[in-house]
Amino acid sequence: MLGALWAAMLLMVIAWGYMQIKGGFLVRREYFLCSFGLMAGQVAATIECLEKEAWGTGILQLYFFVATGIGALVRYRAKA
C-alpha cells in the first residue's frame, strides 16, 4: 500500500512540474490530466497523514483536494 501512496504522490509532483513548465497555460485536456494527477497525490498524502495521525496536515490536504476539484469543474464548465 505504501508504494501505491508514493506513486500517487509522485504523479502529483509530475503534474505540478508539468504545469509549472507550461507556465500554467494548459489546454483543456492537459488541465484535466494535471488536475487528476494533483488530486490523486492529494488523496495519497491525506491517507498517509491520517495513518501518521497528522490531523492538521490531513485536513489541509483535503482542502487542497476540494479546491483542485472546484478548479477542474470551473474549467470544465468554461466555454472554449
Tell me what the pLDDT averaged over the chain comes to: 90
Output the pTM of the full model.
0.84
Domain boundaries, the chain: 2-77
Q: What pLDDT sits at residue 28? A: 87
Q: What pLDDT sits at residue 80? A: 59
What span, in angstroms and rounded, lies between the C-alpha atoms of 21 and 25? 9
Residue type, 25: F
Q: What pLDDT sits at residue 70? A: 94
Quick: pLDDT tens for 59-80: 998 899 999 999 889 988 887 5
What span, in angstroms and rounded, lies between the C-alpha atoms of 10 and 54? 20
